[in-house]
């Protein structure tokens, strides 16, 4: 009888844990969707407010490793002119780490200027909800043309 009770308890705990993970992933997806939506309408308060104070943003250029303060300096002048940017989510994967207080994600995005891109990063659960601690944006290069692109980058870097 005790073994049956333990087994039932473990099964119930497993269901609870799975349900809790599903809820957390929904909230994380909503956070990332809000991040992209805020950028599309140049809402600096919402956009930057979804980043932790020690957040790092990695852009598509090798020189673009920005603290939140540096990234704000890049974002604010554009947003104040009403110039946002739209990255539409095509696909997203979210993984929670043990304890459900940290998550990492990757997403395929579509942008008018850059085409297909990948966003990836880390979120942490704070007292104010999920916040983005690191975001990395990269341009996806098809394998079939990667050698050509690499050669162009090498030539550019030699200038």
List, in order of start, the domains of the chain with CATH numbers: 2-158 (3.10.450.50)
Closest residue by Cα to residue 59 from 155, 128, 134: 134
How much is the mean pLDDT over the chain?
91
Higher pLDDT, 46 or 14: 46
Q: How many CA atoms lie within 13 A of 122 on its CB side?
A: 13
Using left for φ > 0, alpha for ψ between -120 and 50, and beta otherwise, residue 95 falls in beta
* Single pTM value for the model: 0.86
What tens digit of pLDDT does each residue of 63-72 get?
Answer: 999 999 999 9
Q: Is the pLDDT of residue 86 over 90?
A: yes
Residue corresponding to tokens 């980058």: 153
Portion of the chain with pLDDT greater than 90, in percent? 84
Q: Is the pLDDT of residue 134 over 80?
A: yes
Q: Is the pLDDT of residue 11 over 60?
A: no
CB 140 within 8 A of CB 117: yes
Residue corresponding to tokens 């997203």: 92
Q: Is the pLDDT of residue 85 over 80?
A: yes
| pLDDT attached to residue 159 | 79
Closest residue by Cα to residue 137 from 60, 37, 34: 60
C-alpha 74/C-alpha 41 separation (Å) is 16
């Amino acid at each position: 009888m005790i073994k049956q009770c333990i087994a039932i308890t473990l099964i119930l705990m497993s269901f609870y844990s799975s349900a809790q993970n599903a809820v957390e992933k929904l909230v994380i997806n909503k956070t990332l969707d809000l991040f992209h939506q805020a950028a599309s309408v140049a809402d600096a308060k919402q956009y930057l407010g979804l980043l932790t104070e020690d957040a790092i943003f990695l852009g598509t250029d090798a020189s673009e490793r920005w603290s939140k303060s540096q990234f704000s300096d890049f974002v604010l002048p554009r947003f104040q002119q009403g110039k946002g940017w739209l990255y539409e989510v095509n696909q997203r994967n979210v993984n929670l780490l043990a304890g459900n207080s940290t998550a990492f994600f990757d997403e395929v995005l579509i942008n008018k200027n850059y085409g297909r891109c990948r966003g990836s990063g880390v979120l942490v659960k704070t007292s104010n909800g999920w916040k983005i601690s690191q975001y990395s944006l990269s341009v996806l290069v098809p394998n079939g043309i990667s050698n050509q692109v690499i050669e162009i980058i090498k030539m550019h870097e030699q200038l």
